[in-house]
Amino acid sequence: MVSEATVLQALRGIRDPEAQQDIVTLGLVRDLRIADAEVSFTLAFTTQSPQAKVTMHTMASRLVGQLPGVSRVQVKMGGGAREPAAAPAHGHGPAKSAELIPEVRHTVAVSSGKGGVGKSTVAVNLAVTLSETGGAVGIIDSDVYGPDVPLMLGARGRPGMFENRIIPVEVHGLKMMSIGLLVNEREPLVWRGPMIHSFIQQMLRDVMWGALDYLVFDMPPGTGDAQLSLSQVIPLDGVVMVTTPQEVALLDVRKAIGMFQKLNVPLLGVVENMSYFVAPDTGRRYDIFGEGGGRRLAEEYGIPLLAQIPLDPETRIGGDEGSPIVLRRPDSPQAKVFGDLARAVRARLDELAALERLPKIS
Ligand SMILES: Nc1ncnc2c1ncn2[C@@H]1O[C@H](COP(=O)(O)OP(=O)(O)O)[C@@H](O)[C@H]1O
Ligand SMILES: [Mg+2]
């Protein structure tokens, strides 16, 4: 079991940027409790800026989460000496969505076997389309290796604080939080399981999401520590798997599908991105990355092929410039494909929810 001294020593590494002293010396750390591998404490903030509070809170959960023998960290935020309004106590194991985010109706992850296949592009455009076609939508950028969502949405704001909770950034009608908003961009980060656990708990429990119809997660690529930890902690209603048509991408996506199956996360279906390119001058279609991979994968697992998204320079530019293609070119073929994808995701979630309600025969 980790000792109190070790925890405090780790927390001494965090300085209050305004007071220029570490948070232990300043007496901000209160109610430190250690029970087996679980550590909890309160940061008794006073007049710190919202940004400073968010940063110190994140660093505190990260630093303590990295300590050997710690599997779970709960950092409460208290004003002065007051205890914060009773935060619900969490038991062992992954918390249920009903506990962490009771006002969120559906949680959807966008995942893939590898990076660069268009996960963030799909997550962002899907979220915007879901919100445009009716519904309150949030998006959590949990790609610890490349948090691109703020850039792709063109979000300039920073998260604020209200009554010790984090207010998500509002952009294009979405509520958004990103791991990229909480860490220093130049600071190289090696994310380990426990840090990811505490990060995602913070994203769910400490952020004021309010009532949402859909909360979309942009997941990190691969089947490593990060993806696995997140999938265990996030209460997911389903996952959309993004792939490109060629065989090498399929190998990785199969591994990722296997991981979600083991964790009992329902597969909503496959999105084949960069499926083909239509030359604007001749109208001819080119299968740049091969052909048919998405359909083969969907058939192999008996799940729907939700969409085939063409390669399109404007989609890339939209991502780089922070104006998602569905808003930038609402009448384009791209936007139509995302419209179909959003409808398919909605239908699939309703279908799975209906299956849940059926009586089980054992
Ligand atoms: N259908 C598409 N057409 C053109 N460019 C795309 C398409 N999908 C993604 N891109 C571009 O490819 C790059 C990688 O996509 P991204 O969404 O960041 O992938 P990932 O999140 O899987 O790493 C980005 O520059 C993005 O704008
Ligand atoms: Mg990405």
Residue 15 reports pLDDT greater than 50: yes
Mean predicted confidence (pLDDT) in 87-113: 68
121, 185: one domain = yes
164 and 19 in one domain?
Answer: no
Task: Average the pLDDT over each of 81-90, 149-158, 180-189 and give the range with the smallest value.
Answer: 81-90
- The pLDDT of 337-346, averaged and rounded, is 97
Cα distance between residue 153 and residue 171, in whole Å: 7
Number of structural domains (the chain) is: 2
39: domain CATH number is: 3.30.300.130
Amino acid code (one letter) for 236:
L
Give the residue among 136, 151, 271, 156 at the shortest CA–CA distance from 216: 136
Residue 278: pLDDT band (50, 70, 90) is very high
Domain that holds residue 34: 4-79
Do 27 and 143 belong to one domain?
A: no
Q: Is residue 231 part of a domain?
A: yes
Specify if 67 maps to a domain: yes
- Is residue 212 one of the residues assigned to a domain? yes
Rounded Cα gap, residues 306 and 308, in angstroms: 7
Q: How confident is the model at residue 82 (pLDDT cuts 50, 70, 90)?
A: very low
pLDDT at 28 over 70: yes
Q: How far is the CA of 5 from the centre of ligand 2 (A)?
A: 39
Q: What are phi and psi of 293, to 5 degrees?
A: -60, -45
192 and 222 fall within a common domain: yes
Domain boundary among 13, 45, 79: 79
Top mutation candidate among 112, 120, 121 for ligand 1, by most atoms within 8 Å of CB? 121
pLDDT above 80 (res 72) = yes
The CA 172 to ligand 1 mean position distance, Å, reads: 19
Question: The whole model's pTM is what?
Answer: 0.77
Residue 91 inside a domain? The answer is no
Q: With respect to residue 53, please indicate whether it lies within any of the assigned structural domains.
A: yes
Q: Which protein residue's CA is at the shortest distance from atom 24 of ligand 1?
A: 316
Cα 81 to middle of ligand 1, angstroms:
48
102/63 same-domain check: no
51 and 132 together in one domain:
no
Mean pLDDT of the chain: 87
Non-local CB neighbours of 342 within 8 Å, separated by 6+ positions: 126, 129, 130, 133
**What per-residue confidence (pLDDT) applies to 91?**
35
Domain presence at residue 301: yes
Q: Which residue, 49, 79, 109, sits at the end of a domain? A: 79
Q: Assess whether pLDDT exceeds 60 at residue 87.
A: no
Tokens of 4: 């109190």
Per-residue pLDDT of 259-269, as tens digits, reads 999 988 999 99
CATH of the domain at 166: 3.40.50.300
Residues in the ligand 1 pocket, defined by CB under 6 Å? 112, 115-121, 148, 273-274, 309, 311-312, 315-316, 319
Same domain, 262 and 145: yes
Same domain, 73 and 101: no
What are the tens digits of pLDDT across the range 180-232? Answer: 787 666 665 666 667 777 788 888 888 999 999 999 999 999 888 778 888 88
Name the pLDDT band for 123 (thresholds 50, 70, 90). very high
**pLDDT given at position 113:** 87
State whether 165 and 303 are in the same domain: yes
pLDDT digits (tens, 9 = 90+) for 302-338: 999 999 999 999 999 999 999 999 999 999 999 999 9
Do 133 and 60 sit in the same domain of this protein?
Answer: no
Q: Which candidate, 287, 139, 288, 324, places its Cα nearest to that of 215?
A: 139
338 with 218, same domain: the answer is yes
